Structure 1
Amino acid sequence: MSEPLKILIVDDQPGVRYLLDIVIREVGHQVYTARNGLEAVDIAKASHPDLVFMDVRMPLMGGLEALGKIKAMLPETEVIIMTAYGSEETVTRAMEGGALCCIAKPFDVEKIKELLENMEWKHSCYKKTLIRDYA
């Protein structure tokens, strides 16, 4: 792995935040956490994460609304929507809002690691392109 990614985990369930935190730190990335969409927008504004894992149903501000605000503010930030309520409408709204993908909860830890590997590769290629084109 080259440079660690900055990853924001957004979920109102402490157990989900804890599990993702452990998995993500285990592979060497920097982690931020938020309990709802409102906190997520504030933390994203301050930290400029490379990737956000975002739940859909949360108090104060839901994940789809927060997705829109984060993508408007930081279009290069990738957002993965997590939901236990994966209706076709929810998935469609998330993808139209700029989500990279949607994953069903409960999720497989190995799937999360695979997503992280893909993001590491994508991030590395992006950085190399910037260096080559603008150095």
Structure 2
Amino acid sequence: MAGEQLDVLIVDDQAGVRFLLEIVVKEAGHRVHTAQNGLEAIEFAQSKRPDLIFMDVRMPLIGGLEALGEIKATNSMVQIIIMTAYGSEKTVSEAMKKGAYCCIAKPFDVNEIKELLDKFVYWRSHLAETAAGGY
């Protein structure tokens, strides 16, 4: 991955998941912030406006799907990757309707995360080129 450094928020109530994702995202050259639940994610996203959020579905206080809706309502540009060990079609469908960038199943492969980061950076740069008329 060359180029853009992203501000990435990792939201999961499991410290081990946050730690693993933090390592992968930092190794890819991006800045990392963490939150333990949807409430912390909403507060962070409103004040710091991250580029990308990895967010678990089931968390205390406010779950990932509710937080997704609230965050997208105030910042439609942020992209949110939903992570779930409960990947039912209903959960995935609801996440996508609320504006998720994509959904990934837990447990996930570290290479899957690296690939998602690379694709996201490419997508953003292509979007910026298109907006600037560079096709």
Relative to the length of structure 1, the TM-score reads 0.93
Q: Distance in 1 between matches of 2:127 and 2:6?
A: 13
Alignment partner, residue 67 of structure 2: 66
Q: What does the per-residue CA deviation read over 1:11-45, in whole Å, with 9 as the maximum and x for residues that have no partner?
A: 00000000000000001001110000000001111
> Secondary structure of the equivalent of 1:54?
strand
Q: Distance in 1 between matches of 2:18 and 2:57?
A: 14
Question: Is 2:78 the partner of 1:46?
Answer: no
Percent sequence identity over aligned pairs: 60
Measure how far apart 1:128 and its partner are: 3.5
Q: Distance in 2 between matches of 1:101 and 1:120?
A: 14
Alignment gaps of 5+ in structure 2: none
Q: Distance in 2 between matches of 1:33 and 1:80?
A: 14
Q: Distance in 2 between matches of 1:49 and 1:101?
A: 16
Relative to the length of structure 2, the TM-score reads 0.93
> Secondary structure of the equivalent of 2:54?
strand
> Secondary structure of the equivalent of 2:77?
coil
Alignment gaps of 5+ in structure 1: none
What root-mean-square deviation, in Å, do the aligned CA atoms of Structure 1 and Structure 2 show? 1.1
Give 1:84's aligned amino acid: A
> Secondary structure of the equivalent of 2:96?
helix
Runs of 4 or more consecutive aligned structure 1 residues displaced over 4 Å after TM superposition: none
Q: Describe how 1:18-97 pairs up with structure 2 within 5 A.
A: 18-97=19-98
Measure how far apart 1:129 and its partner are: 4.2
